[in-house]
Structure 1
């Protein structure tokens, strides 16, 4: 790691992550390279290796930032402690994911590669962000559904987080996929990320109205 203040180091890391995010908007994961990323930064490709060892580490840092932003929003929801029913909570959670298509795409398309090709240090940083997000969801459940037991909250979390991996491929369908499904005789019902998340959260929360803290 080059010498410099922590603020300068973070600023340079952010510049690299921003360049990666920009490219990922129009390029697939396999086509985004460190050479391409360098073109959108103020320094050379060799310099990037001072901050990230692989392109997967850059993508993992991008996903980490997505998780941190989502966790911040969930913690703010927990702090407000406003009146929410099950449906109200499901709507807010669904909207929070609808705003994060990049996070959902990274999770469903490239998560395994990012973790497999990142150093233990970078992976530990990411897992910490992932853990903070799970805790933020758990805190919301504790506040808005106090009748839920710890086991029920764990059940929600360990069903909800794996569910996130499937949102993007089930809600982003290409024309080629549509044609293929028609030829296969499949009647595909398109759902938005919001609709899919809302329906899933409502099912996970169940129908016990006593779990609602407020109406």
Structure 2
């Protein structure tokens, strides 16, 4: 089969989507260290050298995948917040915890977002990412004003900062590797792996207490 160079914007976007989708499939079963351009190219119609025309590093592909996950989550948030005029703290926290717990790839990406992904991306890619996902943070800000109207601007800002700090770190603490789990069970025989959704909900209840 002859490989045709992408020339139009539609063709370029199609190639990028094929690369991102292959990365998504890999990342569902592989860890960050196991994902590489060779493995991605083997799952696409695009050769490894050609991938470099679109992405310089695997981290740039993962960043675009993370952006897609953010945008999908944003759509879920937007729809839910638009359909509800009043939410209790418990309902608000349940929704956020539920909406995240069903997005395992998103959570896996967040766990290495700042420590690994962003460190090996170009300034152009990073800037585009920040601009594209920024509306989600505004939606969350608006939701706090809507459902917790007495919350101060400072409390609103603090909640959002702490919420995202929480979800960046909670996933790896609730999804241990085999060695991590064995070590914990040896050190603490009564240890059980925490449930992400439950711990996220409990933490959100504590955070919303200040709204």
Q: How do 1:57-136 and structure 2 match up within 5 A?
A: 57-109=60-112, 111-136=114-139
- Relative contact order: is structure 1 or structure 2 higher (C-alpha 8 Å, sep ≥ 6)? 1
Per-residue CA distance 1:36-88 (angstroms, 9 max, x = gap): 11111112111111111111100111111111111111111221134311101
The two structures, once aligned, show a CA RMSD in angstroms of 1.9
Paired residues, number? 207
With structure 1 as the length reference, what TM-score do the two structures score?
Answer: 0.88
Q: Structure 1 CA distance, aligned partners of 2:152 and 2:195?
A: 31
Q: Could you tell me which residue of structure 1 aligns to residue 155 of structure 2? A: 152
Change (3 A) 1:112 1:175: closer
Asked if the contact 2:6/2:15 (under 8 Å) is kept, the reply is no
Q: Secondary structure at the match of 1:35?
A: helix
Q: Structure 2 CA distance, aligned partners of 1:51 and 1:63?
A: 16
Gapped regions of structure 2 (runs ≥ 5)? none
Q: Could you tell me which residue of structure 2 aligns to residue 38 of structure 1? A: 41
Asked if the contact 1:15/1:41 (under 8 Å) is kept, the reply is yes
Q: Structure 1 CA distance, aligned partners of 2:194 and 2:42?
A: 37
Asked if the contact 1:81/1:143 (under 8 Å) is kept, the reply is no
Deviation larger for 182-191 or 42-51: 182-191
Q: Could you tell me which residue of structure 1 aligns to residue 200 of structure 2? A: 197
Please identify runs of 4+ aligned residues in structure 1 that moved more than 4 A.
none
With structure 2 as the length reference, what TM-score do the two structures score?
Answer: 0.90
Q: Could you tell me which residue of structure 2 aligns to residue 20 of structure 1? A: 23
